[in-house]
Amino acid sequence: MSRHHESPESPESPEPTGSGAVGVSSGSARHRSGGRFSRRAQVVTGAVALAALGAGTFGAVSASAGSAAPASRSTATADTANRHLQQTTHLTVDAAARAAQAALDAAERENQRVTVAVVDRNGNTLVTLRGDGAGPQSYESAAKKAYTAVSWNAPTSELVKRLAQTPNLKDIPGTLFLGGGAPVTVKGAPVAAIGVAGAPSGELDEKFAKAGVAALNR
């Protein structure tokens, strides 16, 4: 059962190459309320079940700059104890909130009013932050950009170029082929994505989204 929480008002980067600790979920997701959110924030937390194998950290997380990864790349591994099950890697809600805040901070440093959305591997929204003054259209657009980026494991600015060869891609429900979405990957496979909307150009939106991805390596 999903739980919605709205906190009260209070107080391009290149592809990251560093290695840092990023949380993975184990069991039910937990939302850390309060913290640094200095504007109206909407955080949607779902049950992010099925934890990653091993310790609660994994290596470098990056925003894929090229084409979509081969279909064989996956963060799912077979459960050796039960052949009918798989174990998958997910971004924790705390990590998603940190990435979203970093993207929003990057936009505010350039006086841009945007909304940031973070989705999991299945396209479900984990976190949405609407900055002060962000347009009403930006809320849905940010989520759709994130959904599109995680679906094809590629920045949406790259996916826009594919429309020339496959124009019917834009007819897929829930997608938005505009710059501003960046996937979060582990070993080349997508585990989440960040979408940003509201800046004057998709290039700026995507710059802020990638700043959110880079924050996961710090």
The band of 85, judged by pLDDT with boundaries at 50, 70 and 90, is confident
pLDDT of residue 144: 98
Tokens 């591994």 sit on residue: 77
Backbone torsion region of residue 144, taken as left when φ is above 0, otherwise alpha when ψ lies between -120 and 50, otherwise beta: alpha
Per-residue pLDDT tens digits for 48-65? 333 332 333 334 455 443
pTM (whole model) above 0.75 = no
Cα–Cα distances (Å) from 208 to 37, 50, 51, 115, 190, in that order, read 17, 30, 28, 10, 19
pLDDT of residue 84: 86
Which segments of the chain does DSSP mark as H helices, in order? 93-109, 137-152, 156-162, 202-215
Is there a contact between 198 and 188 (Cβ–Cβ < 8 Å)? Answer: no
Name the nearest CA neighbour of 116 among 133, 98, 130, 135. Answer: 130
